[in-house]
Amino acid sequence: MISNEENRRLTDEFLTYLTLERNRSANTRDSYHEDLKSFCAFLEHELPEGQQATLLTFTQETIEAFLNYRTEKKYNPRSNHRIMSCLRTFIRFCHAQQFRNDNPMAKIHSPRQHQKLPEYLTEKEVQALLDAPNPDDPLELRDKAMLELMYASGLRVSELVGLSMNNLTMEENYLRVIGKGNKERLVPFATTTAEWLERYFKQARCAIMTDSDKVFLTASGNGMVRQTFWHRIKLYAIRSGISKSIHPHTLRHSFATHLLNHGATIFDVQIMLGHASVDTTQIYTHIANERLKEIHSRFHPRAHVRTPDGTPDEGSDSPAEATETSADNVSQASAGDNSQAPTGK
């Protein structure tokens, strides 16, 4: 008989281990909790007939059955990959606590993920988003300061809402961030951003009665949370006429992409984003490369010439047409892409 109580007890001990011994963030702990609950639900209700397993007895065959089940149900490969990562950490926990000495994950390969390029905003769209809040309204002034700081620094949304007043050095325009893995980094921000922060402190935050040291507060004096900020961003995206699907990380993706487009190195961006490995940052170079290919295809006079067998490229202009329209196209692109980085007004 499968012991649901045993699975719950082990889950609780695992979460305590993540907090006290691995120093994982609350968000990571919550994600692992949901992942382990999904796996336990499979163990308790979806195992093939005749099989039984708990968190202490599951085998490689159990994992293979779990992955097959999720594939048949068309779960997202990214979530399957994340659960495999959770289970590997759980097995390390079991080894540390001497709950089991085998490793059913040793020969399990995480599902292949399709590398999806992060969606980002153009500089013109960022400017529209930054201009959307009404700074005469105290709550929207707070939102304006949050948007400005997030785009200026590339913070994760959890880092933004978790900022305390002692994280800011306003005199020198930089902030100290405690990121993933409890790693600290220093991130600069622009003078324009500092001016919006000062205005928020003087006109909005000071009017809220609170003992909280969080930088960004709700009307009731509590620290802002991720979900609230996400809904606020969606509101401003609608107000500014942005049709893309937008979320708080979109500004972080835009920050990285625009830095690369304006000449920053991949290593500069890695440091500012707080990535442990440059491999994680590398995804943004793919975006920049796609942009370069698009520009080349649109504007290079040889991009639309005939192929070696004498036939024109399908759907392309003739060389003469491409040459005649290139000047107009460049002018329109410059206006649309807004080559100067957005600044708050």
Q: Where are the domains of the chain?
A: 4-96, 123-285
Side chain identity, residue 211: D
Catalytic residue selected from 29, 88, 180, 185: 180
Catalytic residue selected from 199, 275, 291, 298: 275
Average pLDDT, the chain: 81
Is the pLDDT score of 196 beyond 80? yes
CA distance 114 to 234: 26
| 282-340: pLDDT as tens digits | 666 665 555 556 655 665 666 555 555 555 554 444 433 443 343 344 334 434 444 44
Instruction: Evaluate whether the domain defined by 4-96 bears CATH number 1.10.150.
Output: yes
Catalytic residue selected from 142, 156, 258, 304: 156
- With pLDDT > 90 as the criterion, what percentage of the chain qualifies? 43
Is the pLDDT score of 179 beyond 80? no
C-alpha radius of gyration, the chain, whole number = 25
Stretch 80-106: mean pLDDT:
94
In this structure, what token pair is assigned to residue 251? 């500004």
- Our answer to whether residue 284 is catalytic in this structure is yes
Give the per-residue pLDDT at 2.
47
Q: In sequence order, what are the beta bridge partners of 176?
A: 186
Catalytic residue selected from 24, 82, 252, 258: 252
The pTM score is 0.60
Catalytic residue selected from 33, 176, 199, 249: 249
- Our answer to whether residue 183 is catalytic in this structure is no
Architecture of the CATH domain 123-285: Orthogonal Bundle (1.10)
Give the per-residue pLDDT at 341.
53
Give the per-residue pLDDT at 127.
95
Catalytic residue selected from 151, 200, 236, 284: 284
Q: How many CB atoms lie within 10 A of CB 316?
A: 15
- Our answer to whether residue 144 is catalytic in this structure is no
- Our answer to whether residue 156 is catalytic in this structure is yes
